[in-house]
Amino acid sequence: MIDTSEILVSHEQIVEMTDRVSAEINRDYKGKKLVVIGILTGAFVFTADLVRKLDMPVLVDFMQASSYVGENSTGRLVIKKDISTDIKGLDVLIVEDIVDTGRTLAALKEMLLQRSPASVRICTAFDKPDRRTNDLKPDYNGIVVPDKFIVGYGLDLDGEYRNFDEVRIVKRDINTEDR
């Protein structure tokens, strides 16, 4: 049995976070054009909320990438959906739902840098620095969360629970078999 009744981050805290992060981005990219690349599938909610609060001209694209099979890293970046935007000479902002180990995002940033953008920065809604296995630090950091499995606001468990407008902690009954 799965219990998602405990709220970790309220909807109000998420709104405050997107206001703060978008203000930082608006300050840093004032007068520039920005390419926002949302990482599917989890970041689609945050990306939508964020871009509506940006003041500069914004091109939005999406990418789906993974270096994991299940819970284990393969050490190899696999692009499931690439961007269609030519980013050469442009400022790029990667938008992620959550950063934990940082492996996939570090590899993705390196791959995008090979396409000769003016800059590549990273924005995340949620950050789990306790799980980081490299020195990756998001340039724009929403909310630091503890090392717990969380769902909501785009974050999922087997494709479910993305629709919660807050972030909840997943608790499993130890007497039942994991999904």
Instruction: Map out the domains of the chain with their CATH numbers.
Output: 11-147 (3.40.50.2020)
4 φψ region: left (φ > 0), alpha (ψ -120 to 50), beta (else) = alpha
pTM of the model: 0.91
Chain centroid to CA 7: how far? Answer: 19
Choice among 91, 100, 127, 165 that is catalytic: 100
User: DSSP secondary structure string, 88-132?
Assistant: TTSEEEEEEEEESS-HHHHHHHHHHHTT--SEEEEEEEEE-GGG-
Active site residue 147: no
User: In the structure encoding, which two tokens stand for residue 42, read together?
Assistant: 């989890």
- Tens-binned pLDDT, residue by residue, of the chain (179 aa): 889 999 999 999 999 999 999 999 999 999 999 999 999 999 999 999 999 999 999 999 999 987 655 445 566 778 999 999 999 999 999 999 999 889 889 989 999 999 999 999 999 999 999 989 899 999 999 999 999 999 999 999 988 999 999 999 999 765 544 43
